[in-house]
Amino acid sequence: MTRGLLWTGLAGVVFVILVPSRVSVRPGLLSKSGVLVEETVRADSLISVRWYDGVAQRMALRDTEGSRVEIDPTVLIRNPAMWHLLDMDARTSIRGGTLLSGAAALRELSERINRGMAHGVFKVSGLPSWPPPVPAWPRRQDVLPWRPG
């Protein structure tokens, strides 16, 4: 009986750790819900956006009400519609003067998303992407022998 309870508890802990959180964006709000907790931040009144780079990249958003949400930026990179809503709300924060730090982090993320979408369009259309690929080094038989003149 004790072993059964121990294994059940361990399975519950592993479940809580491994189940990914769900990120959703609505006009003015960004929410992240996990198994036990849901966090929401007002995206149209952001104070700061911080980018934590490392093994697991994180983006922390904080609003004027003191709420804080940490999300994985690849969620936004993989979902352009979600990024578009968040970008519009972040621009509202910049125009309103509430975003004190983090405009550079949003700009960097925007450039990454735009670059990725452009590469995708080029790939689908069959056009070469920019910058062009680096040419391969010539093989030995392609190199002409040097002859003194």
Round the average pLDDT of the chain to a whole number and report it: 82
What integer pLDDT is reported at residue 145 of this predicted model?
Answer: 54
CB 45 within 8 A of CB 29: no
CB-CB neighbours of 4 under 10 Å: 8
What integer pLDDT is reported at residue 137 of this predicted model?
Answer: 53
pTM exceeds 0.75 for this model: no
Task: Write the pLDDT tens digit of every residue in 47-98.
Answer: 999 888 777 788 899 999 989 999 988 888 888 888 889 989 988 988 888 8
- Nearest-5° Cα angle at 54, 107 to 16: 105
CB-CB neighbours of 144 under 10 Å: 6
Q: Check residues 114 and 146 and name the one with the higher pLDDT.
A: 114
Task: Write the pLDDT tens digit of every residue in 18-47.
Answer: 888 889 999 889 999 887 888 999 988 999
CB 54 within 8 A of CB 42: no
* d(C-alpha 107, C-alpha 101), whole Å: 12
User: What's the alpha-carbon Rg for the chain, to the nearest Å?
Assistant: 24
Task: Write the pLDDT tens digit of every residue in 91-110.
Answer: 898 888 888 888 888 888 88
> What is the distance in angstroms between the CA of the first residue and the CA of the last residue of the chain?
92
Most confident of 68-82, 117-131, 134-148: 68-82
What the block records as the tokens of 1 is 């009986």
* d(C-alpha 97, C-alpha 65), whole Å: 15
